[in-house]
Amino acid sequence: MTAPLDILAFGAHPDDVEIGMAGTLAKYKEKGLRVGICDLTMAELSSNGTVAIRQKEAKHAGEILGLDARIQLNLPDRGLTLSDEHIKEVVSVIRKYKPKVIFAPYWEDRHPDHGNCAKIVEEAAFSSGIRRFAADDDGLEAHKIQNLFFYMINGMHQAQFYIDITKYVDKKTNALMAYESQFEVGENGVVTPLTNGYVDSVISREKVFGKQIGSVYAEGFFAKAPLIINNDLIGGI
């Protein structure tokens, strides 16, 4: 039986989650929570690197963050659609790992895959809790999550809430730098928006976010449902 996760973050590609919320995952892992990442595609259409290299980099990044699970689906890069097939695959992951809280990319992003990932995960999070929703998941029981939140990848929007990651920004940086094929122009590589100081720009963004809450670094998030403030913002977990 698979041990349940407290937090499960979905991304369209390996590195999406690290860009948006690696610091938050590292923080809650240190607090003793079980955390995981699910990548919907293998990023097979990326301009640099290969699928094999990207998988190795994702494994390394996961080790840096201390992930309890790294789940890799095989949905098509640049082919994510709000289809029954894609929704059911994500439902199966949610029902298998039974997370309390789910994260997905913020729906406003320059990359269409990120917005489509958000839509798929939102639909799947709802359908996962419907007992009679069939997901071809070998009889896994319905599972209702506590909260669904959204993290930023390329954007710098005014978030609804922030999480202080000052103590974990180095771990976030190291997790991002694990994706050397994406953020450095290697042999036979090409220049892309990611190879031109992208990691530095992400960390600079988190510094701006930190200033808004009186810390040094922070990550920003969104919610569609009303937020309930308990002892801990992420649903009291």
With contact defined as beta carbons under 8 Å apart, do 104 and 118 qualify? yes
Confidence at 174, pLDDT banded by 50, 70, 90: very high
Is-contact 167 22, C-beta < 8 A? no
Q: Report the percent of the chain where pLDDT is more than 90.
A: 84
Residue 227: its pLDDT value, please? 84
Mean pLDDT of 69-73: 98
> What SS3 class is residue 98?
coil
User: What secondary structure does DSSP assign to 177-193, as a single string?
Assistant: HT-HHHHS--TT----G
pLDDT at position 52: 97
The phi-psi region of residue 44 (left if phi > 0; otherwise alpha if psi is between -120 and 50; otherwise beta) is alpha
pLDDT single digits (tens) 3-57:
999 999 999 999 999 999 999 999 999 999 999 999 999 999 999 999 999 999 9
Whether the pLDDT of residue 234 is over 80: the answer is no
Strands 218-223 and 147-151: antiparallel
> Are residues 11 and 42 in contact, defined by beta-carbon separation less than 8 angstroms?
no
Model confidence at 237, in pLDDT bands (50, 70, 90)?
Answer: very low
Span of 42-46, 102-106, 224-228 with lowest mean pLDDT: 224-228
The one-letter code for the residue type at 49 is: G
Q: Which residue has the tokens 């040094």?
A: 216
34: left (phi over 0), alpha (psi -120 to 50) or beta: beta
The pLDDT of 143-149, averaged and rounded, is: 97
> 198 burial class (0-12, 13-18, 19+ CB within 10 angstroms)?
middle
Share of the chain above pLDDT 70, in %: 95
| Architecture, CATH, for domain 7-223 | 3-Layer(aba) Sandwich (3.40)
Enumerate residues 6+ apart whose C-beta is below 8 A from 84: none
Distance, CA of 221 to CA of 224 (rounded, Å): 11
